[in-house]
A and B are shown apart, each in its own frame.
Chain A
Amino acid sequence: MLAVGRWLSASGLQMGGNRFSDRLLPLLFVPVIIISVLPMIRLAVEGLFVHGTPSLDYLRDVAQSSQTWRATAHSLYTAGLGTVISLLIGGAFAFLVALTDIRAKAALVFCFMIPMMIPPQITALAWVQLTGPSSALLNAIGMAPAMGSPQPLYSAEGIALLLGIQHASIVFLTLRANLRLLPREQIEAARLAGARGGRLWWQVILPLTSPGLIAGTAMAFVTALGNFGIQAMLGIPGNYITLPTLIYRKLSSFGPSALGEVSVLAMLIGLIAVVGVIIHHRLLSKRDYRLMGVVGRPLDIRLGNRRLVIEIVLWAVLVAILVVPLMALVATSLVPAFGVRLSLDNFSFDAFYQVLFVQPATIRAFHNSLLLAVGAAIVLVGVCLPLAYVIVRRPTRLTRVINLLVEIPYALPGVVLAIACILLFIRIPVLNISLYGTLAIIFVAYLARFLIIALRPVMNSFLQLDPALEEAAQACGAGVGRRLRDILLPLAAPAAAAGALLVFLTAFNELTVSALLWSAGNETLGVLIFNLDDSGDSVMASAVAVMVVGVVVALMTGFQLASRHLPKGVIPWQT
């Protein structure tokens, strides 16, 4: 705390006359530290201490277990292969959308973003319902494989394929942001120099976009590594265990007594993620492609008569990775009774009715997820408005550090945060209460994990706001409270609302964190789908999933329609 005090006084000096932010800073700084840094410190302590004394026992136990290294190898293989698939799909889409004259780009981008916004356990469920002998869709059209034949997705390659599809949009977004900054003159100069076709792509465009490619690859890899939903839904039935599922298994079979061991495993997965990020920074720092020239009109490479073919291929890929699995999901949710073959005259909405009005467990899960998502959205926006204001308007060393710290819980795989939260809140010192086994622990973890999601849009909007708007009010005699109320809040409101909706969307669908933190009576929707599927009730699981997808697509459409009224950079798929 001494260091913190020094920081505070140093920043106070820099800020000069602004007493308001002097007071505000520690008020914000302390809770942000508590939810984003303290759990990680607690995690490290748990793994390295046994009964209060420093010890490497847990470390040795974990390192000596062949399970650990098998799971690590599985994690690396699936995340690695998944990243390659993401790179191929996302890269191709980004280049074609950003650089060529294909039509209906907005619609294409919107559809391409949907897989990213659909929760992974639903993606997995949909694909499982599409393939394999019990697929309602394939059975209805009489194309299902014979009963008893294995489900092809319950394998390493199945996991990698779905991870690749789910995270292709991450590569797409980073690469497109890079491509947008590419001055067309550089490519035109290369063409004047005689480069054409493949040479143009390999020698000019690809090297210039390598920063975006590297960043996208790193992000897709780290996200795939921590994607619990797909790894669990496909890996557990297929007995293909990765690090997150190993942690889940240990914790659900042995309970809190396994905490020491799983802390080490969580640190291991966190370490792999950090190494990924470091390699990414290393690679990026070697290439300083300060793009010279003005960023003008985007490039429009003419595809000529190949355009139609390429458009058809792109839309066909979208249909294959988005529409068909969702159709399979819908088909399963309409099956009248387990094992009955679906046809046009026997489909039924009974599962929806059951889920929404009859089954207490599903009703409770809807209720819990709604409560968590709405609560997290409101609290986070309340925190982020002053936090973003201070970070943007009073940049000091301290605010820059906070700006980095709040990234940690979101950047690291979700299981790491979940374990850290269990450790920190299983028995809160001094107060001597436990949050473990309550909805509150999930709520706190959500606050930590999604803070950044709410913060970025609000920061963006403050960055785009002319400081003179606030200074004009100040000159008019308005104190800080009035300025916040009359000027800043109304102007930041659209971004704050967008941030709140994004938090809602993400929290409503969340599985990774809640899978480790839930307890009986405190299930979330993500956990519900996972549990229903686990117990073989794929019809009900699909019904819940269909409703969730409906909510996601409706909210995304709402965003798209409101995009003109939102500041730039607020909608993730339009950055």
Chain B
Amino acid sequence: MADINLHNVTKTFGDYRAVNDVSLNIADGEFVALLGPSGCGKTTLLRLLAGFEEPDGGVISLAGQAVADPAAKIMVAPEDRNLGIVFQSYALWPHMSVARNVGYPLEVRKLSRADRDKRIRDALAIVSLGDYADRSPTELSGGQRQRVALARCLVMEPRAVLLDEPLANLDVHLRETMQQAFLDFHRRTGATMVYVTHDQAEAMAMADRIAVMDRGHIRQMAAPETLYREPSDNMVAGFVGAGAVLPVGGFTMQGDGRCAVRIGNADVMARISIEASTHCRAYPARMVPSNDGAAVVDGQMQHQTSLGLCLRPEDVRVDMQGNLTGMVDDCVYLGGRFRLSVRLDGQHSVPVYADQRARIGEQISLSIRDGWVFSRQEAA
């Protein structure tokens, strides 16, 4: 078991930077998900960790020891890194039995037969496939194959397990069972796990921390609830969880990390990120008196586009006394409740959960009890 550190790691294919200046610290025993849209460089990052790709710059270390450092001409081959990897395609060898597939790492390490058999049995028991040892992998279902691949990682007691979209080929029902299987595996073994997925629900359900990737960059790395409540930029806010981001003109600091922002003709209380509050102070701002007499930082044009208010559906309620009005755009029944899309000021829509169906085009009053103001400008 080991911690994993990446320092300014870059990988280019031709002119394209698939992984761009990524720094990342993963603690020993942590379960980290790499989340991002397809093509953002997740697989490339995982393959850099595993050693199948060589970085063009930066340093990758395992347990404090550099395994890839082009500047120092260090490149430890994958076979010498002792990392387990689970592929989306399972990558089981069709010409070997399940037991031999699982025992192959031990075979390579020249363990004695008896030792090997015992550890194969144990590993198969952990993934509940004890009875399948002599089958061919081709006779197994998708979920079973994935568990064999997991057992193959497990027997070699790797320093970390890397998983590349391991559930993408499975149907919805199996996915939940397998998620549980991965979590059990993590709890039992305490292995460091790096789990690549493009499915945010999967990442949220399983990971201790999630690293959100976009176009080769890590946008934010945080616990799932932090990511959801306090996205650091526009991309994360839009990619993680349902919700809407409204542009914000200016805000009034209220202290305690909270502020008031003006949406339409109503004031909304929201939490604000440190970057957003300092970002705006950094500009020479013109203070104007607001309705309630407090000082308002009046964002100029460039600020207006650079601040956003992230609203989650559970922060917004249909409320007869609400001071915000809008027009219902869409109404979807989710089972137990409805999700409305309500258009404010003719431009931006916000999602709202409601107990009752609403007519499309109906005028409706809302109240907002919380939100998150952040700087929409993406860190370069």
- Also in contact, A475 and B50, with CB within 8 A (given A466-B89, A468-B89, A486-B104): yes
> CA–CA, A478 to B77, complex, Å?
10
Q: Does B80 contact A (CB under 8 A)?
A: yes
Binary per-residue interface labels of chain B (179-199) against chain A in the complex, 1 for a CB within 8 Å, 0 otherwise: 000000000000000000000
Q: Across the interface, do B108 and A477 meet the contact criterion of CB distance under 8 Å?
A: yes
Q: Which residue of B lies closest to A479 (CB)?
A: B79
Q: Across the interface, do B54 and A491 meet the contact criterion of CB distance under 8 Å?
A: no
> CA–CA, A466 to B88, complex, Å?
11
Binary per-residue interface labels of chain A (212-223) against chain B in the complex, 1 for a CB within 8 Å, 0 otherwise: 000000000000
Q: Across the interface, do A477 and B84 meet the contact criterion of CB distance under 8 Å?
A: no
Q: Across the interface, do A487 and B79 meet the contact criterion of CB distance under 8 Å?
A: no
Greatest chain A CB density within 10 A among B51, B52, B94 is at B52
Q: Please, could you name 24 A-B residue pairs with CB atoms under 8 Å apart, sorted by A?
A: A17-B75, A468-B88, A468-B89, A469-B91, A471-B50, A471-B78, A471-B91, A472-B93, A472-B149, A472-B152, A473-B93, A474-B78, A475-B79, A475-B83, A476-B108, A476-B156, A477-B109, A478-B79, A479-B77, A479-B79, A482-B108, A486-B93, A487-B93, A491-B93
Q: In the assembled complex, which residues on chain B have CB atoms less than 8 Å from the CB atom of A473?
A: 93, 104
Q: Which of A456-494 contact B (CB under 8 A)?
A: 466, 468-469, 471-479, 482, 486-487, 490-491
A-B pairs with lowest CB-CB distance, top 10: A468-B91, A472-B91, A476-B105, A468-B87, A17-B54, A16-B54, A475-B85, A474-B78, A477-B108, A490-B95
- Also in contact, A17 and B77, with CB within 8 A (given A471-B91, A490-B95): yes
Interface residues on A, range: 10 to 19
The dominant DSSP class at the B interface is: loop
The dominant DSSP class at the A interface is: helix
Q: Which residue of B lies closest to A471 (CB)?
A: B52
Binary per-residue interface labels of chain B (64-82) against chain A in the complex, 1 for a CB within 8 Å, 0 otherwise: 0000000000010111111
Q: In the assembled complex, which residues on chain B have CB atoms less than 8 Å from the CB atom of A475?
A: 50, 78-79, 81, 83-85
Q: Which residue of B lies closest to A20 (CB)?
A: B77
Query: What is the interface of chain A, defined by CB distance below 8 A to chain B?
Result: 16-17, 466, 468-469, 471-479, 482, 486-487, 490-491
> CA–CA, A468 to B43, complex, Å?
12
Q: Across the interface, do B79 and A474 meet the contact criterion of CB distance under 8 Å?
A: yes
Q: Which residue of A lies closest to B106 (CB)?
A: A476
Q: In the assembled complex, which residues on chain A have CB atoms less than 8 Å from the CB atom of B85?
A: 471-472, 475
Q: Which of B104-118 contact A (CB under 8 A)?
A: 104-105, 108-109
Q: In the assembled complex, which residues on chain A have CB atoms less than 8 Å from the CB atom of B95?
A: 490-491
Q: Which residue of A lies closest to B107 (CB)?
A: A486
Q: Which residue of B lies closest to A470 (CB)?
A: B91
Q: In the assembled complex, which residues on chain A have CB atoms less than 8 Å from the CB atom of B83?
A: 475
> CA–CA, A478 to B110, complex, Å?
11
Q: In the assembled complex, which residues on chain B have CB atoms less than 8 Å from the CB atom of A490?
A: 95
> CA–CA, A469 to B52, complex, Å?
13
Greatest chain A CB density within 10 A among B84, B94, B108 is at B108
> CA–CA, A474 to B52, complex, Å?
9
Q: Across the interface, do B108 and A478 meet the contact criterion of CB distance under 8 Å?
A: yes
